[in-house]
Amino acid sequence: MADSTQMRMHKIVDELMKNRNIEPGSNSQKIVDLYSSFLKRKDGAKSLLKELSQIKKIKNKRELPSLIAHFNRLRVNAPFALWINVDSLDSSHYITEIDQSGLGLPDRDSYLGTDSRSRLLRQQYQNHIEKLLALTGVQNAEQQATDIAAFEVSLAQIQWNSIDNRNVLKITNRLTIQQLASISPDFSWPAYFSAMKLNLNSAQLNVRQPSYLGNLNQLIHDTSLATLKEYFAWRFIDNYAELMGDDFATEEFSFHKKILTGQMKAVSEPDRALELVDGLLGDALGQIYVQRYFSDQDKRRVEKIAMNIVAIFREKLHQSSWMSKTAQKEAVAKLGTLNLQIAYPSKWTNYSNLFISKDDLIGNVMRASEFLSQTEIAKLGTRVDSSHWESTPQTVSGNSIYETNTIEIPAAILQEPMFNRNADEAVNYGGIGRLIAHEISHLFDDRGRLYDHNGNLHEWWASEDVANFSKKCKALVEQYNSYEPLPGYHVNGNLTLSENIADNAGLEISYLAYKLSLADKPSSNIDGFSGEERFFIGYAQSMRVKLRDETLAIRLKSSVHAPDSVRINGAVTNQDAYYQVFRVTPNDLMFVRPNQRVQMW
């Protein structure tokens, strides 16, 4: 699906590039100019000299808050990030969020792991820093790389782990600016917010990891200004390295692709240019994508599938043997407020105030990044728009949003093998039906269940409901902990719990929804397979993927998704229907005893 979507987007851009009648200043012109600026890029290091010289001129640590704000507005990786999110305690409004950030390796554990792979990766990363610094013209690149790598290890040591970061109650911490200042007294928050162009006054913020900010305050205090300047310069170089000429791009590929993921062949120039356009002008490209490649007839068919899935989910909640009547009633009410978004948004991003030049790549990226940041900041003080999409239509993934009780099913995922307009419903219920049920299930997973029908965060289940649900979650964690897709690397059942809940519940519900669509009639036999068999085959086909060991090792440490092979086999072995359809017996390798199968609803 990703390859097919990429080919479609290339066709769109190629046609625009050949069009001599594009309206100046239009979205199409912006796409062409941004794409062209990447292909025509020159010595990018020179383009960053102004930014790097500003960092070099910093005289004391009191200037760091403004620098971090500058990084945040440009979406450059810094010790903490700021964004605007729906307020989980009042889902009708937005709130400012602060989150830990600032690392160059995929996750915190990459810095702290004691296994040989982690130790080697840290050395390779330090070598990578040295090479890029040397390409930028830094004279003492080796020493700076050593200092920067050591600082990032110190940064990782004070950051929260991935398990704590997925706990929505732990990362919900309302603080005033005064309280924020008491946590980190050496950091001028007024200077930071002023540089961010944020007028918060007495407003509260959500600080995801308060202790991290306190420890960061101390780390900055204990670290020399010279090392801090080296670190920030490195973060800027690392952010723009791929845009800074062939030598930089070659080194970026060598580390971020070849070493981290095992990818052996570099991505082509046109593919990288397209990725940039997709990332910065996503809605502009998506609007054309929908016009060219999406059928409203497909949308109506998917909506019909979704209606059956919601009907089954409602029935499962009503019939739940472990939920109290009060929790059942509230859960059904929540399902009734589901905001199902399919294919594309009703409103598009307005890029009219964004200037794109065909000859200024780095400038384009900076202006577009700041434009996107300012678009987010402008939401503060307004009521939440439930029609807003977080995804673009060309995104090949579903999405669920707890605070607005929303699921998004973008247009690009409505293609084979996830959705086949020429296939029978068995295959499509196993594909797109399963995905829709998966995303709805997220609204009731171990985190989503804490949000009520309005999207507000609080514990609305009785203690008995929580205990019963936790027992099922514990069994699921133990099941997935037992999987070892790569020698020495087990799935982290706690880290992947939300996705595993959604995989298992979604598969069960989509199967029952398929059976509902048959209206008590037997399924047809096609190519020797019953409809029930085709459902499970369609599910497996929609999920299959190949991963190199390097990528798999990184994902097992940092991803909230288990590897796809585990997701497929782990979920089907919990489904009673799977055993009936394929006549699985205790002699088969994938047989799990009935009393050990985890069924969420």
With respect to residue 321, please indicate whether it lies within any of the assigned structural domains: yes
Q: Beta strand 339-343 with 205-207: parallel, antiparallel or unpaired?
A: unpaired
Amino acid sitting at position 30: K
Query: At how many degrees (to 10) do helices 497-517 and 434-442 cross?
Result: 130
- Measured CA to CA, the distance from residue 195 to residue 72 in angstroms comes to 10
Exposure string over 69-87, b if 16+ CB within 10 A, otherwise e: bbbbbbbbbbbbbbebbbb
With respect to residue 276, please indicate whether it lies within any of the assigned structural domains: no
Q: Are residues 50 and 136 in the same domain?
A: yes
pLDDT in the model for residue 154: 98
Beta-carbon count within 10 A of 172 CB: 16
With respect to residue 387, please indicate whether it lies within any of the assigned structural domains: no
DSSP per-residue codes, 516-557 = HHTTTPPPPPBTTB-HHHHHHHHHHHHH-----HHHHHHHHH
Here the CATH number for the domain that contains residue 586 is 3.40.390.10
With respect to residue 207, please indicate whether it lies within any of the assigned structural domains: yes
Angle at 44 between CA 39 and CA 46, to 5 degrees: 145
- Measured CA to CA, the distance from residue 299 to residue 427 in angstroms comes to 16
Question: 367-425 pLDDT, tens per residue?
Answer: 999 999 999 999 998 999 999 999 999 999 999 999 999 999 999 999 999 999 999 99
Question: 336-367 pLDDT, tens per residue?
Answer: 999 999 999 999 999 999 999 999 999 999 99
Q: Are residues 317 and 221 in the same domain?
A: no
Q: Are residues 328 and 209 in the same domain?
A: no
Cβ(390)–Cβ(410) below 8 Å: no
Q: Supply 197's token pair.
A: 């162009």
Going by C-alpha positions, the residue among 427, 433, 415 that lies closest to residue 526 is 427
Q: Are residues 176 and 315 in the same domain?
A: no
Q: Are residues 187 and 322 in the same domain?
A: no
Here the CATH number for the domain that contains residue 86 is 1.10.1380.10
- Measured CA to CA, the distance from residue 108 to residue 111 in angstroms comes to 6
Going by C-alpha positions, the residue among 369, 392, 378 that lies closest to residue 78 is 369
Tally the domains of the chain. Answer: 2
- In the chain, how many H helices and how many E strands? 27, 7
Q: Is the pTM for the entire model greater than 0.85?
A: yes
- Measured CA to CA, the distance from residue 166 to residue 319 in angstroms comes to 29
- Measured CA to CA, the distance from residue 254 to residue 135 in angstroms comes to 14
- Measured CA to CA, the distance from residue 451 to residue 458 in angstroms comes to 6
With respect to residue 256, please indicate whether it lies within any of the assigned structural domains: no
Going by C-alpha positions, the residue among 390, 425, 395, 426 that lies closest to residue 411 is 395
Q: Are residues 329 and 190 in the same domain?
A: no
Which residues constitute the domain of residue 513? 311-337+416-596
Segment 166-185 shows an average pLDDT of 95
With respect to residue 38, please indicate whether it lies within any of the assigned structural domains: no
Question: 64-113 pLDDT, tens per residue?
Answer: 999 999 999 999 999 999 999 999 999 999 999 999 999 999 999 999 99
Q: Are residues 466 and 570 in the same domain?
A: yes
With respect to residue 282, please indicate whether it lies within any of the assigned structural domains: no
- Measured CA to CA, the distance from residue 395 to residue 283 in angstroms comes to 11
With respect to residue 411, please indicate whether it lies within any of the assigned structural domains: no
Q: Are residues 494 and 576 in the same domain?
A: yes
Average pLDDT of every residue of the chain: 95
Give the residue from 228, 244, 260 where a domain finishes. Answer: 244
Q: Are residues 326 and 214 in the same domain?
A: no
Q: Are residues 119 and 235 in the same domain?
A: yes
Asked whether the predicted pLDDT for residue 269 surpasses 70, the reply is yes
pLDDT in the model for residue 40: 87
Q: Are residues 175 and 321 in the same domain?
A: no
Beta-carbon count within 10 A of 468 CB: 18
Using a 10 angstrom Cβ sphere, with 0-12 exposed, 13-18 middle and 19 or more buried, the burial of residue 522 is exposed
Give the residue from 219, 244, 269 where a domain finishes. Answer: 244
Give the residue from 227, 244, 261 where a domain finishes. Answer: 244
Q: Are residues 422 and 570 in the same domain?
A: yes
Collapsing DSSP to helix, strand or coil, 149 comes out as: helix
